[in-house]
């Protein structure tokens, strides 16, 4: 077809953009994380993304955030960072893995932390990382990094509500400590 016939085809309602059907166009199904070799971030997003009319929990306290995020670290032998991505009413959009590190360190650069939040149109987030040592006490580096991420979030419009440090002995909220 030439351009003129393409325009006519779309204008008559028989093309994809001019569809007059009551049904929305078909959307491809997400790739199953069980059979995909795709990035684990996407698999995690698909796993935690609420479907249809499913009730999404509101993360309005450190306790609510810990209830959702702490199970992500069960059995972890290396430091990991995860983020709960939230809408404007602080309802859960998704839980994503930001990074997986080594025994005593994980990489949390602002661009990696906020990447999935921007893609999901998140208005806010709660970060969490684990301490495999079992001690949830935040390090000085944890506090400095949290302040840096809060500033970055302010610049791009994604509010960092809290940063939890999770360990076998419990968890610590950096917001409650006045860091956020």
Domain locations along the chain: 40-173
pLDDT 10s digits, 52-85? 556 899 999 999 999 999 999 998 999 999 999 9
pLDDT 10s digits, 100-124? 988 888 888 999 999 999 999 999 9
Residue 105's pLDDT is 83
Q: At what angle do helices 110-119 and 140-156 cross, to 10 degrees?
A: 40
Fold of 40-173: Cytidine Deaminase; domain 2 (3.40.140)
Dist CA 71 CA 58 (whole Å): 17
Residue 25's pLDDT is 37
Task: Return the residue matching tokens 């979030």.
Answer: 153
Residue 54's pLDDT is 63
Pairing of strands 80-86, 159-167: unpaired
Coil, strand or helix: which one is 162? strand
Query: Largest Cα–Cα distance in the chain?
Result: 69
Q: Are 10 and 18 in contact (CB under 8 A)?
A: yes
pLDDT 10s digits, 87-105? 999 999 999 999 998 888 8
């Amino acid at each position: 077809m030439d351009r003129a016939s393409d325009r006519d085809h779309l204008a008559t309602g028989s093309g994809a953009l001019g569809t007059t059907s009551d049904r929305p166009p078909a959307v491809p199904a997400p790739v199953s994380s069980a059979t995909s070799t795709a990035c684990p971030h996407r698999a995690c997003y698909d796993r935690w993304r609420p479907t249809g009319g499913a009730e999404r929990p509101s993360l309005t306290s450190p306790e609510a955030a810990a209830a959702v995020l702490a199970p992500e670290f069960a059995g972890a032998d290396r430091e990991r960072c995860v983020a709960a991505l939230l809408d404007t009413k602080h309802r859960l959009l998704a839980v994503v893995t930001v990074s997986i590190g080594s025994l005593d360190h994980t990489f949390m650069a602002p661009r990696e932390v906020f990447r999935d939040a921007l893609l999901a149109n998140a208005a806010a987030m709660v970060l969490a990382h684990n301490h495999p040592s079992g001690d949830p006490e935040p390090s000085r580096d944890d506090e400095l990094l949290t302040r840096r991420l809060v500033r970055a979030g302010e610049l791009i419009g994604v509010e960092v509500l809290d940063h939890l440090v999770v360990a076998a002995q419990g968890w610590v909220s950096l917001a409650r400590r006045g860091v956020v």
